[in-house]
Amino acid sequence: MLLGDSLCLPRNENEKRVRYECLYPVLLNNSSGLQIINFSRRSKTIVDIRSEIGEIVLYEPKVVILHIGIVDCAPRIFSKKEKIMYSRFPRILRDFVIRNRKKRRTNIQGKNPLRKVYVNPELFKKTYLEVISMLRQELCDLRIIIIPISGYLNRLELKSKGFKHNIDLYNQLLYQISNETNCELLNNSDMLLSSEYYVDDYYHLSETGHIAFFERLLKYF
């Protein structure tokens, strides 16, 4: 079972399509003899996964792949609470607030890139450990594979100041979690250094990126 966010789903980014048949869970399904259940959803965080444990265990997976974290750690100009609050404003006022925040993006994110993340580092690690513990309590002999957060760091940092800092920090937490829980950790550190694995936003996987993940994960089975 794959527990992920929009990185695990098809998309069309500036006319760069990521087709369903090219997704790494689909490629795994087609070549490994396994049944991969893609339980991913756009904008999903580790907190969302924790709330879904009851449903996840009903499928009785033998292996769980956790591909989560970019939504949690991305530096933002609006917190999750602010985003919900401003969505209720009249459009003209909402657009004014958005334009104002965008002008101040560098100042907001540069001073503290963790200030408005959706899931702060402490909660991220705490919840991640809870998810692993809850899954193992319900599912005997469960294998868990953790996929670190990826993205082309150089361009992400230019696009949104503090992105590299946050990805590095949350990946350190994932390494700690892997060591503390004996979960398997996929090595994708080289994918932080090249743009070929991503579409134009530099963190959603391109079809080349999906093939790279497929080839690495296939070795686990």
The stretches of the chain forming alpha helices (DSSP H) are 24-32, 46-51, 53-56, 70-73, 80-86, 91-103, 105-111, 121-138, 153-159, 163-181, 207-218
Q: Which amino acid is at 205?
A: L
The pLDDT > 70 percentage for the chain reads 91
pLDDT at 35 over 80: yes
Question: For residue 101, what pLDDT is reported?
Answer: 65
pLDDT band of 85, cuts 50, 70, 90: confident
Distance CA 79, CA 106 (A): 15
Answer whether 129's CB lies under 8 Å from 180's CB. Answer: yes
Question: For residue 15, what pLDDT is reported?
Answer: 74
Answer whether 197's CB lies under 8 Å from 152's CB. Answer: yes
pLDDT band of 13, cuts 50, 70, 90: confident
Delimit the domains of the chain by residue range. 2-75+120-218, 76-112
Average pLDDT, the chain: 91
pLDDT tens per residue, range 115-147: 889 999 999 999 999 999 999 999 999 999 999
| CA nearest to 71, candidates 2, 175, 166 | 166
Q: Provide the 3-class DSSP secondary structure of residue 64.
A: strand
pLDDT tens per residue, range 153-206: 999 999 888 999 999 999 999 999 999 999 999 999 999 999 999 999 999 999
Name which residue leads in pLDDT, 77 or 23: 23
Q: Provide the 3-class DSSP secondary structure of residue 17.
A: strand
pLDDT at 97 over 70: no
> 2-75+120-218 has which fold?
Rossmann fold (3.40.50)
Distance CA 37, CA 56 (A): 10
What phi and psi, each to the nearest 5 degrees, are found at residue 116?
Answer: -120, 20
Distance CA 113, CA 128 (A): 21
Q: Provide the 3-class DSSP secondary structure of residue 118.
A: coil
pLDDT at 28 over 80: yes
